[in-house]
Every structure is written in structure tokens, then in C-alpha cells.
């Protein structure tokens, strides 16, 4: 139980660091609705962060997962900004880099996030890609101040 709490605490810290770092730096590389990457601040009042642990960490699984993910998120118009990441090469006690991929999406509102959750492409992504992962962890947050 103690290990689980420590693990959850570390993940919460990681999510907070991701959100804080996007506010601390004046610019980050993100992809807009047009699929083109640009330098901009994280936009929107609702952020949805998803961590995926893939069943197999081989090139074929990674390639299939990313193709399914991009097919989905590049075609849902309520997504304001999107970021697909893998663990950074950092090593501190507060960092959990055991996940395979991180997806960070922002929306203009919770209402738009809810539309995304029910979107046909989101449901198709889950159906097609869920056999590729053995764990998913989600953090949702709303902008303060």
C-alpha cells in the first residue's frame, strides 16, 4: 500500500510539473487543430493528460499505437492543443518514467472535453488500440486564476 501511494504521489507530481512547466515557459512546441506544429503557450481552460503503458515495448507496437493515436487526435476538432510524448531522460526521485507514452490535450471548456470523450473517433481509438496497452492513467485539470 505504501508503494502504491508513493507511486500515485509521484505521478501526481509529474502531472503538476507538466502543467506548471507549460505555464512557466513563455513558449512550448504544440500542435494546433491544423496538425501543424507551432510555438505557443498551452491554451484552453481544461487539460486532459493520459499516460499509457504498452503491453509490448517493441517498435511494431509503438508504431501501431502512434498511428492509431494520431489518426484519432488529428481529426477531433474540439481539441485546442495536443502533445504526444515519451519519458524524458531524467532521473530524480520525484519522476516516474515507467510509462510508454503521455498524451496531453487542452480544450476551451469541460463541455468540449465531454464532446471529445463521446466522439466516434475516440471510441474507435479505444476499441482498436486498447489491446496494445495494459494500463492507462488519466489526470484532468481546470485552469486556476
93 closest CA partner among 1, 9, 4, 2: 9
What's the angle, vertex CA 101, arms to CA 98 and CA 105, rounded to 5?
130
Residues 20-66 have pLDDT tens digits of 343 333 334 445 555 555 545 567 789 999 999 999 989 999 999 99
Q: Is the pTM of this model over 0.85?
A: no
Cβ contacts of 86 within 8 Å, gap of 6 or more: 100, 101, 102
pLDDT of 18 higher than 60: no
Rounded distance, CA 119 to CA 124, Å? 9
**What percent of the chain stands above pLDDT 70?**
71
Give the chain's domains with CATH numbers: 2-142 (3.30.70.100)
Amino acid at each position: 500500500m505504501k508503494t502504491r501511494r508513493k507511486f500515485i504521489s509521484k505521478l501526481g507530481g509529474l502531472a503538476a510539473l507538466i502543467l506548471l512547466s507549460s505555464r512557466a515557459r513563455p513558449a512550448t512546441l504544440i500542435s494546433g487543430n491544423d496538425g501543424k506544429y507551432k510555438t505557443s503557450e498551452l491554451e484552453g481552460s481544461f487539460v486532459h493528460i493520459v499516460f499509457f503503458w504498452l503491453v509490448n515495448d517493441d517498435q511494431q507496437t509503438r508504431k501501431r499505437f502512434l498511428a492509431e493515436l494520431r489518426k484519432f487526435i488529428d481529426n477531433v476538432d474540439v481539441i485546442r492543443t495536443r502533445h504526444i510524448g515519451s519519458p524524458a531522460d531524467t532521473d530524480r526521485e520525484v519522476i516516474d518514467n515507467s510509462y510508454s507514452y503521455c498524451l496531453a490535450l487542452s480544450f476551451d471548456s469541460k463541455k468540449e472535453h465531454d464532446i471529445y470523450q463521446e466522439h466516434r473517433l475516440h471510441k474507435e481509438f479505444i476499441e482498436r488500440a486498447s489491446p496494445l496497452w495494459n494500463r492507462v492513467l488519466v489526470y484532468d485539470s481546470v485552469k486556476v486564476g
